[in-house]
Amino acid sequence: MGPANHLKPRSVFAVAAIILMLGLPIAAVTADDGGYGTTQCNGTLAPGTYHDVHISAGVACTITGATVKGDITGDRDSNLTLAGSTVGGDVVLESPEFVQIGVHSACSPTGSANSIEGDIQVRDAVGYVCIQGNNVGGNVDVERMHGAGCSCSDPGSLFIAKTPNTINGDLIISGNFLSDAVVTRNVISGDLQVTGNNITTSTFLDNRVEGAFEFGHNMGSSALSGNTITNDLSCDGNSPSPTGSGNTAARATNQCVGMTSPATTSTTVTCDSGSVRTNHRTDCTAVVSSTAAGITGAVSFSSDGAGQFGKVNCGGHGNDDSNDGNSLVCTVDYTPSAAGTQTITATYPGDTYHSPSTGTFQITVS
């Protein structure tokens, strides 16, 4: 089953962790289909190679150490525990009960990471969903969940946390009605979209988002802290407003204003040559880089020796394609007027969302 129309194309590896606690006897499925056809999982699927795997309504399926060339799909009230496996397609569960994908650490660490080349789609779940420590090539999409709380020490009925997932697409959490949700320490190549949820308590902590973080029209107490966001952190229409601090982003808007700290920057400076003749010009370039895009302002240049700088020209401002939108590039020409060793210093003063930094380069004037 392919990704839903609103999902983006696949990118790296997709993963979702599902926790299953039924206490019922499970019959092992030992036949290996050799990678052809669809295998019905009626209990525990033996390690092996399969094409597609399907879980019928009301069936609890455990898959460990398997290679699934295609998709894993599940009908209403099915349950899935997936660990240590490779899935070449998508994991799609409609109206499941409990879902555990990857590493689960509610009572004690169990399970292991999966590699999922497509998407993880979990919709209308009635139990809890745990997704941890997976590599996901596409999107992770959890929608319209009405989950019960996790057991032992796991605090969230939606738990995408603790052991980080690497998600090469978007992480989408939308339209869920939950007691609590915990989303921490994930690396997301796309956007983090959290919209239209009613969650009593939600925590979004220490995620790395290479796109934008959209947090809109949610209800319930929410905390957003320590997230590193390449593009914008936008919060709108939430009741009550989210709280948080220590986030870095290209810009924070509306209810998220005041929740960011300046992102760290680094400045490097180089000149055409480390050896320059007196009264001859050399061109120097300073590059300011950061984890957050949208760097504004300019760099100033100085020298500890005698000489003359020309006009400083800056470009990029977070839109330089060659630097992934996270840089400011400034150039200047410098003409030394005395022999000796000189240190050229480039100073970036910072802006609202980016911290100051400096870099140096040494030239020898003869």
In one letter, which amino acid is 193?
Q
In CATH, the number for domain 265-365 is: 2.60.40.10
Between 28 and 170, the higher pLDDT residue: 170
Q: What value does the mean pLDDT take over residues 182-201?
A: 95
Q: With contact defined as beta carbons under 8 Å apart, do 288 and 295 qualify?
A: yes
CA–CA separation, 51 and 56 (whole Å): 16
Structural domain boundaries of the chain?
27-190, 265-365
Which residues are within 8 A (CB) of 322 and not within 5 positions of it... i.e. 6 or more apart? none
Q: Provide φ and ψ at 323, rounded to 5°.
A: -120, 25
Share of the chain above pLDDT 70, in %: 82
Q: What is the pLDDT of residue 326?
A: 79
Q: Look over the chain and give the mean of its residue pLDDT values, rounded to a whole number.
A: 85
Q: What is the pLDDT of residue 108?
A: 46
- pLDDT tier at 17, thresholds 50, 70, 90: very low
Q: What is the pLDDT of residues 123-157, one digit of tens each?
A: 999 888 889 889 999 999 999 998 655 544 444 56
Q: What is the pLDDT of residue 36?
A: 64
Per the structure block, which two tokens stand in for 140?
A: 């992770």
- Selection from 109-113, 130-134, 211-215 with the highest mean pLDDT: 211-215
